[in-house]
Amino acid sequence: MSLLHTSQYSGWARGHLLCRVEEVTGRFAVTFDDGPNPAATGRILDVLARFGARATFFMLGGHVRRHAELARRVVAEGHEAAVHGDSHWPVPLLLAPTIRKQVRRCAASIEDATGVTPRFYRPPFGFMTPGQARFLRGLGYEPVLGDVYPEDPHCPGVDRIVSRVLPRLRDGSILILHDGSPVGNPDRGQTIDALEIILTETTSRGLRGTTVAELFPMENGARPTPERLPRQLG
């Protein structure tokens, strides 16, 4: 079981990270970390297109600079580009100037490649302190985690990924998956096969996969406030 699915960690994270959005009907956010990745991102985009689903891609700046054409394709096909850092460093070990540099350099790379300004940020490894979250909001980025994480980078098998997702996924959920890795260009075939099953099932339930931004209105430039996770997920 992912640490995210324990009441102890979810109870701590819910106060300062956007984990899910309440009062949402008929949709959940699909998100991917650590790309863009030439071995997987394009295939994931193809699956999303077949289901008419949209997603948020939390990108690493170094990968964006190496694979700018994939970052452009993500945005051109109606998906959302977001910040995961310039490299995959654990945020709790970083001082504020380094965090600022990591985030702004990644955001600049995304903007240079795609022409869009990202507004969401996910910390590598899913950890950051409440003070760091406030700091990121001061820079203009909303820190996002999620409430469903099947640990797909560990390649536990397609069936296990699916079984870790479907019982927990509901209206307003934020699903965490991976299209890339901090090192190399992994295939992510299990994630891709699982995504197809997950989208088939959620479509039959009347749930539409979409971006983080589309989970809530952003009226007058107002940013979302972190929604509370239930004490016990699933």
- Report, as residue numbers or ranges, the catalytic residues: 33, 178
In this structure, are residues 21 and 215 in contact, taking their beta carbons and an 8 Å threshold? Answer: yes
- C-alpha–C-alpha distance, residues 25 and 171, integer Å: 5
Handedness of CA 74, 160, 145, 233 (dihedral sign): positive
Q: 174 — phi, psi (to 5°)? A: -120, 110
Residue 150: which residues within 8 A CB-CB, separation 6 or more?
A: 2, 156, 160, 161, 162, 164, 165, 176, 177, 194
Alpha-carbon dihedral angle through residues 146, 29, 62, 13, given to the nearest 10 degrees:
-10
